[in-house]
A and B are shown apart, each in its own frame.
Chain A
Amino acid sequence: MVLFSAVAMRAEEEIHNIQNIFEPTSTPAEGILEIAWVVLTICAGIFVVVAGLMVYAIIRFRAKKDDDGSEPAQVYGSNQIEMAWTVIPLLIVLVLVFVTARKTITIQNMPFPEGTLEVNIIGHQWWWEVEYPQYGFITANEIHIPVSEGDIKRPTIINLESADVIHSFWVPKLGGKRDVVPNYPNQIWYEPDETGIYLGNCAEFCGTQHANMQIRVVVQTPEDFEAWLKNQQTPPREDASVATGRRMFESLACISCHAIGEKGANNGFGPDLTHLMSRQTIGAGVADTNYDDIHQWLKDPDSLKPGCYMPDMKLTDDQLKHLTEYLLTLH
C-alpha cells in the first residue's frame, strides 16, 4: 500500500510536447500573446502593403520589349511624399512603444501577495537544481507548481541563480525566458490555468550539453501538488531488500556529488536524488527513470549525454545491478 501511494506520486498529467508560443496556458504567456497579435497584425499589414507596391512597381514599370530606348522622366524626389512616409511610420512606432511599455511594466513589475509560492532554480552545467525554500527540500530538473482554478489565482515566483555560467530559463507555454546569471539574481513568474507537463530548455548557450538541459514543469491541481509536496518532504524509505545498493552508494564516490535525504553531499554539485523515482527523467531530460536507462547511465553516462560531468565510475556488473535496484526504490 505504501509502495502504491508512492508510485502514484509520479505525475500522470498529459505531456504538452509541442511548445507553441501561440497556445499559452499561463497569465504572463497570455499577456505576451496579446501584444504579439497587435505587433503581428501591424507588421503583416505593412508587409502586404509595401511588398504589394513593390510587386506592382516591378510588373508595371518593367522595360517593354518594344521600348524605344528613351529615358523615362527624371524625377528627383518629392517633399510631400517623403514627409508622408516619414510621419506615418513615426505614428506606428509611437503606438508600438506605448503598448510595449504598458505590457512590459505589467508583466515585469507584477506585485505578489505575501506567502506566494516561491521556487529557487539554480542553473548548473547541464541540469537544474530546484529548491522549495518555504518547504525545505531540494529536487532537480522537474518543477511542480499548482494550477489556478477560476478566480483563485495561484502564481508561482521563480527565483533564478546560476552556479557556473549563464543559462536561460524558458518554458514557452508558461511565459517568456529569463537569463540565469551567476551573481545576478533574476525572477520570472507563472500563473498557469491548465494542468499538464510543459517542456522547456536552456536557451542561452552554456557549453557542451546546452542541448540537453531540459526543463519539465508539472502543473497540478492543488490537491496533487500538496500530495507531491508531502512526498518530497518525507525522508527516503529504507528498503531492506536493497541494503547492498545503499551501502555501495555510500562507499563508492556517488555520495561525494549526490545527496539522498540527509546523507551525502549537499553541495549541489550533482542533482539531489532523494525522490529520484518521483521524476520522469534523468540527466535533465536525456533518459527515463526506468531500470534500463538508469543502468546505462551508471555504466556509461557519456553514451547518453556526451561531455557531461558525471564520470564513468567503472563499476562492475554486480555493483551496477545493486546500485540501480537501490535507486529504483527512491520514490
Chain B
Amino acid sequence: METPDSIQLEAVKRSKGLEWLMTVDHKRLGVMYICSGLFFFVVAGIMASLIRIQLAVPQNDFLPPDTFNRMFTMHGTSMVFLVGMPIIAGMANFLVPLMVGTRDMALPRLNAFGFWIFLFGGCLLYYSYIGGPGLYGAGSAPDVGWFAYAPLTSKAFSRGHTVDYWALSLILTGIGSLATAANIIVTVFCLRCKGMTMFRLPLFVWMMLVTAFLMVLALPPLSAAQIMLLLDRFLGAGFFDTQEGGSAVIWQHFFWIFGHPEVYILIMPGFAVASEVIPVFSRKPIFGYPVMVAASIMITFISLGVWAHHMFTVGMTSVANVFFATSTLLIAIPTGIKIFNWLGTMWGGKIRFATPMLFCMGFLFQFLASGLTGVMLAIVPFDWQLSDSYFVVAHFHYVLVGGLLFTIFAAIYYWYPKVTGRMLSEKIGKMHFWIFVLGFNMTFGVQHILGILGMPRRIYTYDTDRGWDLWNMISSIGVIFQGIAILLFIYNILSSLRKGKEAGPDPWDAWTLEWATSSPPPSYNFAKLPEVKSRRPLWDEKHPDDPDWRHE
C-alpha cells in the first residue's frame, strides 16, 4: 500500500538510529521524552538513596556536608525539571494528537527542538559535576537547594560556577517546556478532528491543555529571575544583593510565582491520567465531566495567586499572610471536587483491578493524605512550626511521588501496549505496586513525625538525643523496598518489549480515540481521520443500541 510513510522511506533510506535522531513524529518524541525522564529518574533516585543512607543513623559520616548538599540540590532539581516535566511532556506528546484525532502536533519541528534543548539542558546540569571551574578549579555541582535562595546564590556566598550551571541549564529546559506547552495549546485548539468540540475532549486533553497554559504563565518568571541572577553574578547588577540595596525576598517572590504553579503543572497531568484510567476500569463514564473541567480551570487560576504560602515565615504582614492562606485553602475546593468525582465514577461500577487501576487507587489515598497535610500547611500559625521541617518533605513527596509518580506508573502500564504493541506483565506489575506502596509510605509516612519532633529539612547530620533516630532508620529502610520495586518495573519494561503478550488495538476495552488505531500506531496515526459524536467515540461504536451522544 502506498502510505505517506512508505513513500518517505523509499525516498530517503535512513538507518534506524538516525531515524530516531531526526524524527519530528510526536509519538517518537513522546517516547524519547519519557525514556530520558526515566533515565534521570534513576539517577536522581540513586541520589535520594545516598541521602537516606547518610540520614539513616545519627552522626553518620558516609557523605561529607558539601557532597550531601549537592546531592539534595541535584535530586530536587532533577526530579522536578528532568523527570516530572519531560515525562509529562512525553505523555502529552504521545497522546494528545491521538486523542483529538489528528496526525501530529501542530508544530512538529518546534516539538523536536523542544526535546533536544531539554536534553541538552539536562546534560549541562550534570556536566557541572566535571565541568570547571568550581570552587577550586575542579568541577562541582550546584549546592544551593533547588529553590536557590538569594543571597546564598550570590558570588559572595557561592563562588565558582555551580550556580551558573544551575541557572543556565534550567533556562534551557524551560525553553523546551514552553515549546511543548505552545504546541499542546495550538494542537488542541486547531487540530481537533471532526465533531470533537471542546466539550467532547477527553479529560486528559483538557487537563494537559490547562497545564500547558500554566507552563506558559509560570515558567517565564523563573527564567526572568534566573537571568537576573546571572546578571547579578556576572555583571554585579545587584537585584538580589542586599549589600547593594537589592532584596533577598524578591527572589522568593519570583521563584514561588513560578514554583507554586509548578506544583500544579506536575500534579494536573496526574489528575489527567486518573481521569482516563478510573472510568475505563470502573466501566463507567467520568462522573460530572463539566464540573471536572471547571475544577481544572479553577485550580489553574487560583494556583497563580497562592505563591506566598511558601513564605509565611518570611515576615510578611498578617494581612498578606491571611490573604495567601485564604487563596490556598480555596484550592482545596476544586481539588476536593475532583476526588469526589473519581469516587462517584467508581460508585456503582464494576471495578477491574488491573495494574493501572491499582496505581490510581494508590494515588487516590495518598493524594487525599497530601491534600489534607497541605491544608494544615496553609494554616499560617501551624506553618510557622511546620515549614522547612520534615513535615513539609513528607507532604510534597506525598504530592509528587504519591500523586504524580503513582499516576505516571498507572499511565505507563495503561498505555505501554499502545506504544509498543505488547502488554506489560500484570504479575510483575502487581508486585511492583505492592512493594512500592509499602516502601513509599514507610519512607515518607514517618517523616511527618520527624517534622513534628522539630527536625529541619536539608540537614546532613543530627545528634543522637533528639528522638529522631528510629524514624530516620525506618524512613531509610523504606527506600530498599522502593528500590526493589523500581528494579522490577525496569525489568518489566525491558522484558515485555520482546516477550510481552500481543496487545491488539484496544486491550483494555477503552473508549477514547487512541485505542481506535493499531498498537503501535502508524506514523500517520489514522488511515482516515476519525469523526466523533460524543466524548466516548469507541463506546458509541461498541454500543450502537445506547450511544453516548444521546446523553449529551
Q: Tell me, in angstroms, the Cα distance from A86 to B387 when the chains sit together.
A: 29
Let me know if B365 and A54 touch, CB within 8 A: yes
Let me know if A82 and B288 touch, CB within 8 A: yes
Q: Tell me, in angstroms, the Cα distance from A5 to B283 when the chains sit together.
A: 81
Interface size on B, as a range, is: 35 or more
Stretch at the interface among A36-44, A236-244, A267-275, A290-298: A36-44
Let me know if A104 and B365 touch, CB within 8 A: no
Q: Tell me, in angstroms, the Cα distance from A182 to B241 when the chains sit together.
A: 9
**Cβ contact of B289, chosen from A47, A74, A76, cutoff 8 A:** A76
Is A75 interfacial (CB-CB < 8 Å)?
Answer: yes
Residue of B nearest to A186 (CB): B315
Let me know if A177 and B388 touch, CB within 8 A: yes
Contacts of B313 in A (CB 8 A): 168, 176-179, 203
Let me know if B347 and A61 touch, CB within 8 A: yes
Let me know if A178 and B315 touch, CB within 8 A: yes
Contacts of B344 in A (CB 8 A): 75, 77-78, 81
Is A71 interfacial (CB-CB < 8 Å)?
Answer: yes
> Secondary structure of the B side of the interface?
helix
Q: Tell me, in angstroms, the Cα distance from A226 to B454 when the chains sit together.
A: 30
B-contact 0/1 string along A179-211, CB 8 Å cutoff: 101111011000000000001111111111111
Q: Tell me, in angstroms, the Cα distance from A61 to B291 when the chains sit together.
A: 23
Stretch at the interface among B1-9, B178-186, B371-379, B399-407: B371-379
Is B350 interfacial (CB-CB < 8 Å)?
Answer: yes
Let me know if A203 and B388 touch, CB within 8 A: yes
Stretch at the interface among A92-100, A134-142, A250-258: A92-100
Contacts of A206 in B (CB 8 A): 152
Stretch at the interface among B61-69, B120-128, B524-532: B61-69
Number of interface residues of A (CB under 8 A): 90
Is A164 interfacial (CB-CB < 8 Å)?
Answer: yes
A21-B385, A82-B337, A210-B458 known; A108-B242 Cβ under 8 A: no
Closest Cβ of chain A: how far from B511's Cβ, in Å?
A: 11
**Cβ contact of A178, chosen from B288, B329, B368, B384, cutoff 8 A:** B384
Instruction: Compute the total of residue contacts between A and B using a CB distance below 8 Å.
Output: 281
A51-B368, A183-B242 known; A63-B352 Cβ under 8 A: yes
**Cβ contact of A19, chosen from B150, B341, B380, B453, cutoff 8 A:** B453
Closest Cβ of chain A: how far from B407's Cβ, in Å?
A: 16
Contacts of A168 in B (CB 8 A): 313, 388
Let me know if B454 and A93 touch, CB within 8 A: no
Within residues 28 to 57 of chain A, which ones have a CB less than 8 A from any CB in chain B?
Answer: 29, 31-32, 35-36, 39-40, 42-43, 46-47, 50-51, 53-54, 57
Within residues 259 to 286 of chain B, which ones have a CB less than 8 A from any CB in chain A?
Answer: 282-285
Q: Tell me, in angstroms, the Cα distance from A90 to B333 when the chains sit together.
A: 6
Q: Tell me, in angstroms, the Cα distance from A47 to B242 when the chains sit together.
A: 44
Residue of B nearest to A88 (CB): B336
Is A85 interfacial (CB-CB < 8 Å)?
Answer: yes
Within residues 507 to 552 of chain B, which ones have a CB less than 8 A from any CB in chain A?
Answer: 543, 546, 548, 551
Is B195 interfacial (CB-CB < 8 Å)?
Answer: no
Let me know if B336 and A85 touch, CB within 8 A: yes
Contacts of B457 in A (CB 8 A): 203, 205
Is A314 interfacial (CB-CB < 8 Å)?
Answer: no
**Cβ contact of B467, chosen from A17, A184, A205, cutoff 8 A:** A17
Is B149 interfacial (CB-CB < 8 Å)?
Answer: yes
Closest Cβ of chain A: how far from B520's Cβ, in Å?
A: 28
Contacts of B382 in A (CB 8 A): 32, 35-36, 39
Let me know if B248 and A76 touch, CB within 8 A: no
Residue of B nearest to A107 (CB): B381
Is B460 interfacial (CB-CB < 8 Å)?
Answer: yes
B-contact 0/1 string along A52-72, CB 8 Å cutoff: 011001100111100100011
Let me know if B452 and A181 touch, CB within 8 A: no
Let me know if B149 and A175 touch, CB within 8 A: no
Residue of B nearest to A105 (CB): B318
Residue of B nearest to A87 (CB): B333
Let me know if B466 and A58 touch, CB within 8 A: no
**Cβ contact of B454, chosen from A81, A172, A205, cutoff 8 A:** A172
Closest Cβ of chain A: how far from B290's Cβ, in Å?
A: 8
Contacts of A202 in B (CB 8 A): 456
Is B332 interfacial (CB-CB < 8 Å)?
Answer: yes
Within residues 190 to 211 of chain B, which ones have a CB less than 8 A from any CB in chain A?
Answer: none
Within residues 155 to 178 of chain A, which ones have a CB less than 8 A from any CB in chain B?
Answer: 164-166, 168, 170, 172-173, 175-178
Is A20 interfacial (CB-CB < 8 Å)?
Answer: yes
Closest Cβ of chain A: how far from B512's Cβ, in Å?
A: 16
Let me know if A165 and B343 touch, CB within 8 A: no
Is B330 interfacial (CB-CB < 8 Å)?
Answer: yes
Contacts of A31 in B (CB 8 A): 381
Let me know if B248 and A183 touch, CB within 8 A: yes
Stretch at the interface among B27-35, B39-47, B217-225, B320-328: B320-328
Within residues 385 to 433 of chain B, which ones have a CB less than 8 A from any CB in chain A?
Answer: 385-389
Is B369 interfacial (CB-CB < 8 Å)?
Answer: yes
**Cβ contact of A208, chosen from B69, B325, B350, cutoff 8 A:** B69
Q: Tell me, in angstroms, the Cα distance from A35 to B69 when the chains sit together.
A: 34
Is A307 interfacial (CB-CB < 8 Å)?
Answer: yes
Is A154 interfacial (CB-CB < 8 Å)?
Answer: no
Is B353 interfacial (CB-CB < 8 Å)?
Answer: yes
Let me know if B157 and A207 touch, CB within 8 A: yes
Let me know if A39 and B375 touch, CB within 8 A: yes
Q: Tell me, in angstroms, the Cα distance from A206 to B287 when the chains sit together.
A: 48
Let me know if B369 and A89 touch, CB within 8 A: no
Contacts of B385 in A (CB 8 A): 21, 29, 32, 36, 172, 176-177
Is B491 interfacial (CB-CB < 8 Å)?
Answer: no
**Cβ contact of A71, chosen from B247, B290, B461, B543, cutoff 8 A:** B543
Q: Tell me, in angstroms, the Cα distance from A100 to B324 when the chains sit together.
A: 11
Contacts of B149 in A (CB 8 A): 165-166, 204-205
Let me know if B69 and A77 touch, CB within 8 A: no
Contacts of A204 in B (CB 8 A): 149, 388
8 A-B pairs besides A71-B350, A176-B384, A211-B462 with CB distance below 8 A are A35-B381, A51-B368, A61-B348, A74-B546, A76-B285, A97-B322, A184-B242, A203-B387
User: Could you name 17 residue pairs across A and B whose Cβ atoms are closer than 8 Å?
Assistant: A18-B453, A51-B368, A58-B361, A61-B282, A62-B350, A64-B350, A71-B283, A74-B284, A75-B348, A93-B332, A100-B326, A100-B380, A164-B151, A165-B248, A177-B385, A182-B151, A184-B249
Q: What 7 A-B pairs come out closest when comparing CB atoms?
A: A176-B384, A19-B454, A211-B459, A77-B288, A172-B454, A183-B242, A18-B467
